[in-house]
Amino acid sequence: MSEKKKKVILVEDDLAIIDIYQTMIQKAGFDVEAIGSGQEVIKKIKELKAGDPSKPDIVLLDLILPDINGIEVLKEIRKNNTTKDICVFILTNQEESQISKLDGIKPDKFIIKANITPIQLVALIKEQLQ
């Protein structure tokens, strides 16, 4: 019986970034689902039930999405009882000044994409999920 792969949801609308991150995260042995819009993630979050096997272990969340701001997605994750404990890494090229808009709703990590390689990102994910 093999251990269930840890599940990562990558919320990102840049196809090149999705391609790189998804490949690296999968190579590290994680199950990755890429979602390109905030509304789609919120819909998925709302559908999750307690003990749902498709519940992600970690969400990598871009702040700049084509439809709604990633902060709205984070608020939705945190206010839902089933998902409020999911680890969320904000992954963005926005400066941390954006955090002031979070109203005290904290991500587990705030990562500037330009300052981190995909390999470093995978290491952070592994560290978080161990």
Burial class of residue 84 (count of CB atoms within 10 Å of its CB; 0-12, 13-18, 19+): exposed
Question: pTM surpassing 0.85?
Answer: yes
pLDDT tens digits along 46-90: 888 767 778 899 999 999 899 998 989 999 999 888 899 999 999
Tokens of 27: 């190579």
Which pLDDT score is estimated for 1?
A: 46
